[in-house]
Amino acid sequence: MRVLVVEDDREVRTAVAEGLRRAGFAVDEADRWARADLQIAVNTYDCLVVDRMLPDGDGSEGLHRLRAAGTATPALLLTALDALSDRVAGFARGADDYLVKPFAMEELVMRVRALSRRRGQVVASVLRNGDLEVDLALRTVRRDGVLLTLRPKEFGVLELLLSAAPAAVSRSTLIEHCWDEMADPASNVVEVLIGRLRRKLGDPAVIHTVRGFGYRLGPE
């Protein structure tokens, strides 16, 4: 899942971005709304994390303009403004969730994860395909009952493939949702990760290459 963090305070922005990356998200950053507007126009995000007090205006106003233009990407507003009227105003301008500073990183991660899933179709908390089981809440993967250890990005790719199964997922879609804007689309990062994921999942193979397109998960 790919998230855009819009926060002008470098220390806060870095902490939020790193916390989300440790949780397996691909994260892009912006320090003002004008920059965020450009990123939203060219990238696909599963969630926006937006500070209200930005150098070029109120983040909720920028969000309101996005909604008016038809952008439905879920958004969480970060703010030091904790009055009921401030929260109501944020929701009225298109926020899906609201978190008051200071906040616990664990709570932010769980809220962003919940919002990110709203972008696509609703999925069960436990996904299964054959003898493969992925618990999205506990962030665990089992194959034939055996607990496997995956890195956060490996988990993210597997979740995307499993959610789409039996349909194939294009390589470009994997890049858009599981890597940030620093990833080079021409590099072999997807192929390397898929190879590593296949080895961890073991035999018989459950991830198959769709030549010239991407990958699908399921029986041969």
User: Could you give the residue range(s) of every CATH 3.40.50.2300 domain in the chain?
Assistant: 2-118
Q: Is 126-217 in CATH node 1.10.150.20? A: no
User: Could you give the residue range(s) of every CATH 1.10.10.10 domain in the chain?
Assistant: 126-217
Separation in Å, CA 160 to CA 36, 123, 153, 204: 25, 11, 11, 20
Structure tokens at 61: 């106003």
Q: Is 2-118 in CATH node 3.40.50.2300? A: yes
pLDDT of the chain, 220 residues: tens digit per residue? 899 999 999 999 999 999 999 888 999 999 999 999 999 988 889 999 999 889 998 888 998 898 888 888 999 999 887 777 877 888 888 889 999 888 999 999 999 988 887 655 445 578 899 999 998 878 899 999 999 999 988 998 999 999 889 999 999 889 888 888 777 777 899 999 999 999 999 999 999 999 999 999 998 7
